[in-house]
Amino acid sequence: MEQGKHRFAREAGEEIAPSASSAPSAPPALSLPCLDSSNECVNELTNRAIASSNKLKKLDEKIALIDQRLELMEDRIAYSQKKTWTNYVTLDPVKLLQNLFGGGDVQRDRLAIADLEIKTADLLAAKAELERQQEEEKVRVGDKVLRLLLDYEAANRRHRLLSSQLETLEQQREVTRIAYKFGRGSTSQILGMEDRRDRIIEQITDVSIDRDVSVRELLHLIGEK
């Protein structure tokens, strides 16, 4: 206790105590175009996050490949249908009868067309599933952007409140130090203020870390690493 008294006696002299301004301040927004939960900001960050999403890019590539295969299937079906009619034009009477009664080359081409149509239906179903996943991922990205913005704002409000409390405490602490210098006040009172000050600074550091995490995750989402 006596050591604490000597410590604060020194502080009451020439030593300058840290002020509230020494607490961590708001982090720079870096390359973020905005940093609030307004509709405009949420939409802008969400659009940039969607454009930067590797998962969505891969889904786009898969859909593009299916579209190419669908075009190929369409061309093959059109060719097979055209070929079916030309099979009726033949000088071979046996083949002509087979084609007329649903056999021969006509039957083969019709089976080929049916097979192509089944494959086309499978491709369309696969494309629909990929598009569903795409929309689901876009919603997930939008939700994450909004959550990070709300987390940042909550941490920022907490930071301002704690900084205000620290500034008030610093003023009270200065008055108490001056009074202690002239023999008024007690060591326990000063120690109590020191403990409270340390707790507030620790809380400010924690919320500053929370803010930084939200900003870093937003930057990662929009591709600004």
Spell out the SS3 assignment of the chain: CHHHHHHHHHHCCCCCCCCHHHCCCCCCCCCCCCCCCCHHHHHHHHHHHHHHCHHHHHHHHHHHHHHHHHHHHHHHHHHHHHHHHHCCCCCCHHHHHHHHCCCHHHHHHHHHHHHHHHHHHHHHHHHHHHHHHHHHHHHHHHHHHHHHHHHHHHHHHHHHHHHHHHHHHHHHHHHHHHHHHCCCCCHHHHHHHHHHHHHHHHHHHHHHHHHHHHHHHHHHHCCCC
One pLDDT digit (tens) per residue for the chain, 225 residues:
434 444 433 343 333 334 444 455 555 545 799 999 999 999 999 999 999 999 999 999 999 999 999 999 988 888 776 665 554 445 455 454 454 555 545 566 677 778 888 999 999 999 999 999 999 999 999 999 999 999 999 999 999 999 999 999 999 999 988 888 888 878 888 899 999 999 999 999 999 999 999 999 999 999 986
So where are the chain's domains?
34-221
